[in-house]
């Protein structure tokens, strides 16, 4: 039986094994106590298991006296924005994000529209399983149907986005929503901005016709679809709509790493300010930001960690190398819709095709691998990896990272899967594979 994964990314596990309706109820009870039995917003992604989990949450919260706002199936960034917009005391999103379909989980949002940080997750976890009496009266349940419109309106209001000009341009977009919660929402947003949408895998039934992560290796169907549809650009998102990767007009998948680089380049051309990414993000972002005489701030992997650092330094944009872009002008959460619109506005203003814009981003090769965690002690893993140091700069702020002049290695236990993640980047594919392979060999020795 698998183990329940509890981290800064929330709670997730295999449905019916480590993640059951009883687990969902226990976490709902603890969260109700955490928000002092206030109003809670509930959303879900498209996974078939989500319906029963939502019904369990609603019953638990209302029985304890919490009022519930049910926004139903919406992308994660839509839900997060609406927690703050609707003045809820907290929010729960039923999703396992990029995990395979057999998983589901819960993401917890505070009243200011930010995911709970490590300390708050630890406090929540310590409360699970305890008995709570709640309030003496039952809570009320209300369905809200305006969540997507609020999200679209907020994106349209970004000062350097020109909805009128975008509408006149009529970009043709090929979009792959992996049959997730963005399947209706994101084509609706793009059409609202005058785009013509060619839809691929946009039935919100949670069946995931490809691997859920929008990596270049997973979106070959979109690559073919872009050229067949003669689209200006292709976008592939993950099941809950907070990450996106790009395909050029020629059908070339750029990979998730380019999303943050392109979005940062455009935003910094409009306003200057700090940029925050996680330790696993491509060095290309650092190179792009350096052109504006700005140094990138780094944070441990995990959206809540990046957001905390962004708030500390008052960053104007942040994100992660997995295709997640955070624009505080909209909200403090990764938002694939924001990333798409920023890139479209960049294309519009530059007059360049996406392939041309991408060619201006410094090229690196990244190798991402993972090793089953099993019974490995991460401290012993670090001791083995120190053999790789060789004149590199060691950083242990987030697992184990070594930086060399033209390459780097980052190894850390995953917060969403029972694995150790190994990421290496270099100027050549051969070198990146060599570094990652040597790390895997040492971990497995």
Q: Which residues are catalytic?
A: 97
Q: Are 259 and 272 in contact (CB under 8 A)?
A: no
- 15: nearest Cα among 48, 44, 38: 48
- The structure tokens listed for 229 are 């549809």
Cβ–Cβ under 8 Å, residues 151 and 77:
yes
Alpha-carbon span 291 to 299, nearest angstrom: 21
Backbone torsions φ then ψ of 24, nearest 5 degrees = -60, -40
């Amino acid at each position: 039986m698998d183990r329940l994964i509890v981290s800064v990314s929330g709670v997730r596990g295999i449905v019916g094994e480590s993640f059951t309706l009883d687990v969902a109820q226990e976490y709902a009870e603890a969260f109700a106590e955490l928000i002092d039995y206030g109003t809670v917003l509930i959303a879900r992604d498209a996974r078939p298991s989500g319906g029963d989990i939502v019904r369990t949450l609603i019953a638990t919260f209302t029985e304890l006296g919490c009022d519930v706002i049910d926004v139903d199936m919406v992308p994660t960034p839509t839900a997060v924005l609406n927690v703050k917009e609707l003045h809820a005391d907290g929010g729960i999103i039923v999703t396992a994000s990029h995990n395979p379909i057999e998983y589901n989980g819960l993401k917890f949002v505070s009243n200011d529209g930010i995911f709970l940080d490590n300390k708050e997750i630890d406090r929540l976890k310590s409360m699970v399983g305890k008995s709570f009496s709640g309030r003496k009266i039952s809570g009320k349940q209300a369905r809200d149907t305006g969540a997507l419109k609020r999200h679209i309106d907020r994106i349209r209001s970004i000062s350097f986005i020109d909805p009128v000009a975008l509408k006149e341009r009529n970009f043709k977009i090929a979009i792959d929503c992996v049959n997730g919660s963005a399947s209706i929402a994101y084509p609706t947003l793009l059409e609202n901005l005058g785009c013509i949408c060619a839809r691929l895998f946009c039935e919100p039934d949670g069946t995931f016709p490809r691997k859920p992560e929008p990596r270049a290796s997973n979106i070959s169907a979109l690559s073919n679809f872009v050229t067949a549809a003669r689209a200006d650009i292709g976008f592939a998102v993950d099941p809950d709509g907070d990450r996106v990767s790009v395909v050029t007009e020629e059908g070339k998948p750029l990979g998730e790493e380019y999303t943050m680089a392109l979005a940062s380049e455009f935003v910094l051309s409009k306003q200057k300010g700090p940029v925050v990414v996680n330790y696993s993000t491509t060095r290309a972002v650092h190179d792009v930001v350096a052109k504006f005489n700005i140094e990138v701030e780094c944070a441990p992997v995990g959206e809540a960690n990046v957001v905390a650092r962004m708030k500390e330094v008052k960053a104007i944009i942040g994100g992660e190398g997995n295709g997640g872009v955070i624009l505080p002008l909209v909200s403090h959460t990764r938002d694939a819709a924001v990333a798409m619109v920023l890139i479209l506005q960049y294309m519009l203003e530059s007059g360049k095709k996406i392939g041309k814009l991408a060619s201006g981003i410094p090229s690196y090769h990244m190798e991402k691998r993972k090793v089953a965690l099993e019974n490995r002690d991460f401290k012993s893993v670090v001791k083995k990896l120190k053999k790789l140091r060789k004149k590199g700069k060691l950083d242990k702020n987030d697992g184990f990272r070594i930086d060399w002049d033209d390459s780097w290695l980052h190894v850390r236990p995953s917060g969403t899967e029972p694995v150790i993640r190994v990421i290496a980047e270099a100027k050549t594919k051969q070198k990146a594979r060599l570094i990652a392979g040597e790390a895997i060999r040492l971990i497995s020795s």
